[in-house]
Amino acid sequence: MFKLSKKLNALPPYLFLEIDKAKRKARAEGRDIIDLGVGDPDQPTPAYIIEALHQASLDPANHRYALDQGMPVLRRAISDWYKERFKVALDPDREVLPLIGSKEGIAHFPLAFLNEGDYSLVPDPCYPPYKGGTIFAGGKPYLMDLRESNGFLPDLEKIPLAVRKKAKLIFINYPNNPTGAVADKDFYRKVVEFAKKNKLIVVSDLAYSEMSYDGYRPPSFLEVEGARDVAIEFHSLSKTYNMTGWRVGWACGNADLVAALAKVKSNIDSGIFSALQLAGVAALTGPDAHIKNMCRLYQERRDTLLAGLRSLGWQLNPLKATFYVWIKIPDKKYDSIRFASLLLEKADMVVTPGVGFGKYGEGYIRMALTVPKERIVEALGRLKNIF
């Protein structure tokens, strides 16, 4: 038998693989499964982006190794988009780094700054690469519990001084996966102050900034005064433009932090396929009608799901952004894995157990608005037959 490394063994179990296995087994049995578990848009990538990829792929100049730091035209498009969307001016040559999806950048970033035994301050529940990237770098995740009573924001003052002294990074993610919570600039100002006081790097994951409802527009962490001194922010085309499989994202912010990540990546990958980068330019410079239509579609699905669950007496939080509904399990005799299993067994529905995002996710499940409204209505009908 081959022996796995200590770091690989230290990773939390990746529950989502087991969920996928159970889902595939149920479908193989001929069951009509409604999948509310996966955060993957069900709508196609806009046609103008696909056409841009097609045309760029025909040019032999794009068939070579890409530049590690990304094509200048993409970096400028990202910089211009940030200026237009957030009023944040970024130097495209020093403060922007294209990524093979934001996930790889988030997972690789701790390699640039963590030494063995250093802490990362990681929200819990959270997107798993915050913990995984910390562990692969030899660091220790210190879990900041996200409580409903605090709006799913971390209580920074609860972090022990001994941990702060050994911490190098703090991860924040708003709009939040999995809870759907949002943060305002007052919270971001507190994070800047906390980071400067404790000599921390802020890693802001802003992947869901364009998926919002009821007129709400999520801010960027970089909008806050002093944020550029301490922060790197990650973004992606995945959710905004239905491009999850395309793997185009970026990091931006403090030039030294961006340069450090670029140095890590230069030893790991050879950049994004140039035709994909040009498709990314088309996305960022194209019409905004797609984003408005996307938000309208998800808002309609959100309203349908929330109204139906409330009619069952389920306890729900408001949802102003993301396409995730974070739901307290209505029956306390079930933990999140057993409750998700019950829904798969009795209602042919897939949801994500909260514990898959960390121990403080226990007691909740996550549903994603990634199926048509008609399927959501059908799912609610199945739930009414059980509860």
| 163 and 24 together in one domain | no
Burial of residue 199, with CB atoms counted within 10 A of its CB: 0-12 exposed, 13-18 middle, 19 or more buried? exposed
Q: Has residue 54 been placed in a domain? A: yes
User: Could you list the mean pLDDT of each consecutive 10-residue stretch along the chain, which spans 387 residues?
Assistant: 88 76 85 91 95 97 90 97 98 98 97 97 96 96 97 97 97 98 98 98 98 97 98 97 96 98 94 97 94 96 96 90 96 91 94 95 96 97 90
Q: Has residue 1 been placed in a domain? A: no
pTM above 0.85, yes or no: yes
Q: Has residue 356 been placed in a domain? A: yes
| 251 and 358 together in one domain | no
| 221 and 89 together in one domain | yes
| 115 and 219 together in one domain | yes
Dihedral (CA of 369, 373, 379, 380) sign: positive
- pLDDT tens per residue, range 138-176: 999 999 999 999 999 999 999 999 999 999 999 999 999
Q: What is the pLDDT of residue 68?
A: 80
Range of the domain at 22: 6-44+289-384
| 220 and 266 together in one domain | yes
| 210 and 349 together in one domain | no
In angstroms, the CA 189 to CA 195 distance is 10
CATH of the domain at 364: 3.90.1150.10
| 114 and 199 together in one domain | yes
Q: Has residue 183 been placed in a domain? A: yes
Q: What is the pLDDT of residue 353?
A: 95
Of 285, 304, 335, which one is at a domain's C-terminal end? 285
Of 226, 260, 285, which one is at a domain's C-terminal end? 285
| 270 and 360 together in one domain | no
Please tell me the total count of domains within the chain. 2
Q: What is the pLDDT of residue 13?
A: 73
Q: What is the pLDDT of residue 30?
A: 85
| 273 and 295 together in one domain | no
CATH of the domain at 129: 3.40.640.10
Q: What is the pLDDT of residue 8?
A: 87
